[in-house]
Structure 1
Amino acid sequence: MSDDTAKARGTVLGIDIGGTKMAAALVSADGTVLTGDRIATPSGDADQVFAALGELIERVSGDAAPLAVGIGSAGPVDQQHGLVSPVNIAGWRNFPIVDRVRAMTGDIPVALGLDGHCFALGEFWGGAGRDAHTLLGIVVSTGVGGGLVVDGKPLIGQSGNAAHIGHVVIDQDGEACVCGSFGCVEAYASGPRMVARAQRSGWRTGETVDAEVLAADAAAGDELALAAFDDGAQALAAGIVATAVTVDLTAVVIGGGVAKAGPVLFDPVQAWVKRLAQLPFVTDLTVVPAQLDNAGLLGAAHQAWAALA
């Protein structure tokens, strides 16, 4: 038996599936990542996308025999039937991810959760939310996802899609969202939508740019880039405050690629939250950056350990 295989005894396999990347890792009961890797999420039909994920799982697992699997996926998800229909993965609609992964890994528990739930659970387990009692976690990236940990436990909902903050409607007459509705948080606060809004205003028109470039220009004082971040921040703040007054929370953690913009995102978010959170029980609402680069992966692994309890 190899040293790596010996170390991997007593581990679970965590899988994090998003529109931009897929990650997998063997994780111990204390949250230590023993082996892990990630790939860009491929385009293609359902089987082509899963083939890439399958290769990643095999590469990470090696000769190890994980005790359980936890999957965090972009949503919507159908936990009851083990299906996923990620908005940002066109090839997967009602894709039987649980059955397909179980066929690869053997007859072990496979727990499926929304990626935002896993992010919140990971930050609660070992990141910026570990001292919180009730926590809202938000991922701002290609889309906007979220998850709630209430009284120390993830709030899942009957379908497994609770706290989908990106699709909280904040403007009924607002912009069309990829989900089919209008005026959702994601329609204003996701990286691609902020970039598109800035370009419509005259910022880097005709160039192929992304949210990282937008953030760099905002940090340098570009007024159009700053305005796009302020619009996105206002949408995020509206969703945050709506959630806070619904479940009575004071701790919010934001991660994801767009959150790496730092103060150009967090300063206006905090300012808008302060403006919108006027009821006494949410006036102490705090919004902080995520501490973990792999919170979603750790949250998925946490689900797997919980499935063994």
Structure 2
Amino acid sequence: MRLGGDGVCMALGEHWLGAGRGARFLLGLVVSTGVGGGLVLDGAPCLGRTGNAGHVGHVVVDPDGSPCPCGGRGCVETIASGPSLARWARANGWSAPPGAGAKELAEAAGAGDPVALRAFRRGAAALAAMIASVGAVCDLDLAVIGGGVAKSGRLLFEPLRAALADHARLDFLAGLRVVPAELGGAAGLVGAARLAAIA
């Protein structure tokens, strides 16, 4: 029997049957109410010493940033998660109805709301900094992003790719690509099946 966290199972599922087919060094990300992740390195899941490898939501991208529930400060999750995007937008003038979250923020950004657009650019820049850092450590060729925030499509991916080009300057990162996940909510289940098959 083998246990795998949701992030590594998502990454493994996308690697096996989704957007990561053919990649050897992959970071799978779920950007939703938090930021989670998993790694597939040299075609195999990387679980780490405690099974928590790929826990990228707590990569620090702003050392002077907001406190994180993990006890750290400036983790990418404090900037790029859905609740963090909406919280920042509200604090910067987004007039949203009570209870509005990332979905409503994406709708506002799609309609051209400047604060909503800035919130997505800010979150995308934080994700790009984290992906570039993990890419440099793990020599990645692909990052696959799923989750509710990723459903915003070009609102996230266009500024993310532009920011990644600024951050990922090392020669060996020139081929690092970022793509949307393909398997949706099934990615974790597909990855768990794959993990069981290769155990």
Local SS of the residue matching 1:300 = helix
The equivalent of 2:128 in structure 1 is: 237
Question: Of the candidates 31, 36, 43, which is equivalent to residue 145 of structure 1?
Answer: 36
The equivalent of 2:189 in structure 1 is: 297
The equivalent of 1:222 in structure 2 is: 113
The equivalent of 1:263 in structure 2 is: 154
- Asked if 1:156 corresponds to 2:47, the answer is yes
Contiguous gaps of at least 5 residues in structure 1: 1-108
Greater share of helix: 2
Give runs of aligned pairs for residues 68-107 of structure 1, distance below 5 A.
none
1:185, distance to aligned residue in structure 2 (A):
0.5
The equivalent of 1:191 in structure 2 is: 82
Q: Percent identity?
A: 55
C-alpha RMSD of matched pairs (Å): 1.1
Instruction: Output the TM-score relative to the length of structure 2.
Output: 0.96
The equivalent of 1:39 in structure 2 is: none
Match for 1:306: what amino acid?
A: I
The equivalent of 1:80 in structure 2 is: none
1:284, distance to aligned residue in structure 2 (A):
2.0
Specify which structure has the bigger relative contact order, considering alpha-carbon pairs within 8 angstroms and separated by 6 or more residues.
Answer: 2
Contiguous gaps of at least 5 residues in structure 2: none
Give runs of aligned pairs for residues 39-58 of structure 1, distance below 5 A.
none
- Asked if 1:203 corresponds to 2:107, the answer is no
Local SS of the residue matching 2:8 = helix
1:304, distance to aligned residue in structure 2 (A):
2.1
Task: Summarize deviations over 1:186-223 as a string: whole Å, max 9, x none.
Answer: 00000001000000111125621011110111111110
Assess if the C-alpha contact under 8 Å between 2:80 and 2:123 holds in 1: yes
Greater share of strand: 1
Match for 2:52: what amino acid?
A: N
Question: Of the candidates 134, 156, 170, which is equivalent to residue 279 of structure 1?
Answer: 170
1:141, distance to aligned residue in structure 2 (A):
0.5
Instruction: Output the TM-score relative to the length of structure 1.
Output: 0.63
Task: Summarize deviations over 1:91-125 as a string: whole Å, max 9, x none.
Answer: xxxxxxxxxxxxxxxxxx3x321211111000001
- The structure whose Rg is larger is 1
Once residues 226 and 273 of structure 1 are traced to their aligned partners in structure 2, the CA distance between those partners, rounded to angstroms, is 18
